[in-house]
Amino acid sequence: MSKIPKRLRAATTAAAAAALVVAPLTFVATGAQAAEAHVDNPYAGATQYVNPTWSAAVEGAATRVSDPALAAKMRAIKSMPTAVWMDRISAINGNADGNGLKFHLDNAVAQKKAGTPLVFNLVIYDLPGRDCFALASNGELPATDAGLARYKTEYIDPIAALLADPKYQDIRVAATIEPDSLPNLITNIAEPTCATAAPYYREGVKYALDKLHAIPNVYNYIDAAHSGWLGWDSNAGPAAKLFADVAKTTKAGFASIDGFVTNTANSTPLEEPFLTDPTKQVGSGQVRSSKYYEWNPDFDEIDWTAHLHRLLVAEGFPATTGMLIDTSRNGWGGAARPTAASTSTTLDTYVDQSRIDKRTHRGAWCNPLGAGIGERPKATPSGYAASHLDAFVWIKPPGESDGASSEIANDQGKRFDRMCDPTFNSPKLAGALTGATPNAPLAGQWFEEQFVTLVKNAYPVIEGNGTVDPTDTVAPTVPSGVTAGAVTNTSVALSWTASTDAVGVAGYDVYQGTTRVGTSATTSFTVTGLTANTAYSFTVRAKDAAGNVSSPSTAVSARTTNDTTVPPLDTTAPTAPSGLVAGTVTQNSAAISWTASTDAVGVTGYEIFNGTTSVGTSTTTSFTATGLTAATAYSFTVKAKDAAGNVSASSTALSVTTKPADTVPTGGCSVTYSANSWNSGFTASVKVKNTGTTPLANWKLTFSFANGQTVQQGWSATWSQSGTAVTATGASWNSTLAPGQSVDIGFNGNHSGTNNAPTGFAVNGAACTNG
């Protein structure tokens, strides 16, 4: 039985807007403009970006429905935060489907409240060969070397340059990295399109992680499918290993990934409330053995995130790795939602009557009928400790199509997938109808019919405005325990005990006398812009999504300070940096690191010198000097500085010599290749010899396979493969071969059928003879 259930779709959204041109930007962090420290959970204590384009689409839908109560429910969620999708290169500057990234980032800056972090949810989604197993969201870039080059230079690089603009450094950017990509390499690698795309998925994801992790306020979350796709042990274990393998190829290793996001654009439930024990015996077998679950023990996303987190930690990820769940359309409410477990003693009947997930099959991913909006976006949701949740998020904006229900011409590379056709009995779903909503437009476009269904079937139920929808007229409880904390000449920090409400508190308004001075999504707020030595009175009111507002809290009084003293000048410089060591050294770059300096008021940054020439600054204890000359000695020192401008003495100098330039073997080279094959595997031994008369520096061997073989694991060299082309680069200890000297290297590989020897052996671009 298939274990491939899927998935996803979306672009930026409905309304057209003028294109915005984004010029490449260079970001140099300095002490004066340093971003906040990278935190464990970016969502904790933060608000999230509300996409005005999506909000406008929701408002438009509300004006078109004839049911006032339904319109009120739509308006009640139009200010919910949703992700911004970069689904093609043109989306960066803006295209006919929506505004560009700069537009949204500028709006995020405008939405951010002083003293409260803001998370900007961004989806990175344009890999070469995108969506290799389905068709509805195929992309613009082919799975070729040229496609990968465009992905890097025309897609990731401009996005990274824009995010690195210092004016956005106070925005926490949570990037969902390439939905559907790596999970496809677990379950669908036998598909020729996925096998072709595999190396480009790995390299593309690695490149995105490296570029985005280098920006301090960006948080990377890798897409991890959903429980109905990877929940089986035979999928889950390999998935965690693949995630770890990709992480290890990045410059920062596991640190380049802040967490994982599941259920992206999928409708798999958060919890199955009446199916909590997969081993429960009903009639002929355990619940997990039913036709619907096919022995998959993870029935919902709470199960899957907990399962995946355990496996990730076992593979080397830190225990602090966070999880996100897309709850934008997995509520499964409405009249069809069960209210209790079935009483049937027939296994499949028991499961079908007990499950809230009403899809025909867990693999039905395209605009599923009956789905509803799920939990509202929420940071650190309680009660799910084993899942290590950073937040519930709406990555897929509700109302955006997964794919067209029939063929629609487009210039985006998207194709018609029969999984979006409601009349299709899909073999991928054991012959069941897809259960897709009819009349669906192209993936990513506004699909109002589906949006209406999602709102009607929402669970928890969406509460509309109390004047229109009488279902919620009860205001939250009054905030209590309001206290004044830190007080300065111009500010007062307030905190209070959370209010309660039947459908949840949406936020708080803070008043100075009768004037509202701010709002907060948390139970704290700092009032600023006050006058020194002045008494103030503050109250707080709670509000819910229906617009009900509580009575004011008991007032708390506070007087600002009148501190006119001037602190003594700081004339003490930080301690000199110590322990300089060299990291990766190439022909034109050298990475160095050092032990942090100390200072009474804190170190704000470091300046790096080559001799007496400054080569750059850093706010961390590492730096990579670039633009160097091959085979040249350099002497690096580092000085620390503090906020008062004091500069430390120089560190002890660190001498570094760059690698020599590549040389072509004068007089020739030879390569001897042999392979020992078995079933679909083989071990290859390769001898590279310098048959010339001069030393061969930084040798790099290239060759091509003739029968689709793949390198799996190599030794004594750094191995890589792109399509049929293979490259082996000498290690630090064997990168130079003297005249007549040889080196033995090798690898394990896979093949299918014929396993002919590769051809086109060359070293540093010069053809070699067969040894």
Whose tokens are 């091509």? That residue is 704
Dist. CA 223–CA 259, nearest whole Å:
9
Dist. CA 121–CA 100, nearest whole Å:
14
Whose tokens are 């799996």? That residue is 712
How many separate helices (H) and strands (E) can be counted in the chain? 13, 39
Query: Are the beta carbons of 300 and 270 closer than 8 angstroms?
Result: yes
Residue 371 tokens read as 């789905």
Dist. CA 179–CA 7, nearest whole Å:
8
Dist. CA 509–CA 478, nearest whole Å:
12
103 three-state secondary structure: helix
Dist. CA 510–CA 325, nearest whole Å:
31
Dist. CA 262–CA 264, nearest whole Å:
5
Active site residue 131: yes
Max CA distance (Å), the chain: 91
Work out the angle at residue 629's Cα, subtended by the Cα atoms of residues 623 and 634, and round it to the nearest 5 degrees: 55
Using H for helix, E for strand and C for coil, what is the string for 684-718? EEEEEEECCCCCEECCEEEEECCCCCEEEEEECEE
* Lateral strand order in the sheet of 681-690: 710-715, 742-750, 681-690, 669-678, 769-770
Relative orientation angle of helices 301-314 and 233-249, to the nearest 10 degrees = 50
Query: Are the beta carbons of 622 and 593 closer than 8 angstroms?
Result: yes
Which residues are registered as beta bridge partners of 539?
A: 511
Using H for helix, E for strand and C for coil, what is the string for 237-254? HHHHHHHHHHHHHCCCHH
Which residues are registered as beta bridge partners of 567?
A: none
68 three-state secondary structure: helix
Selecting among 87, 97, 180, 300, the annotated active-site residue is 180
130 three-state secondary structure: coil
Which of 144, 163, 305, 302 minimizes the C-alpha distance to 223?
305
* CB proximity list for 587: less than 8 A, separation 6 or greater: 628, 630, 631, 658, 659, 660, 661, 662, 698
The shares of helix, strand and coil residues in the chain, as percent rounded to the nearest 5, are 20, 30, 50
Task: Tell how strand 118-124 and strand 171-177 pair up.
Answer: parallel
Selecting among 97, 126, 131, 300, the annotated active-site residue is 131
* CB proximity list for 670: less than 8 A, separation 6 or greater: 688, 689, 691, 768, 769, 770, 771
Centre a 10 Å sphere on the Cβ of residue 111 and count the other Cβ atoms it contains: 16
Active site residue 180: yes
611 φ, ψ (degrees, to nearest 5): 65, -120
Dist. CA 147–CA 127, nearest whole Å:
8
472 three-state secondary structure: coil
Helix or strand (DSSP H, E) at 90: helix 90-93
Residue 219 tokens read as 């948080």
103 φ, ψ (degrees, to nearest 5): -55, -45
Work out the angle at residue 758's Cα, subtended by the Cα atoms of residues 757 and 760, and round it to the nearest 5 degrees: 140
Residues with a known catalytic role: 131, 180
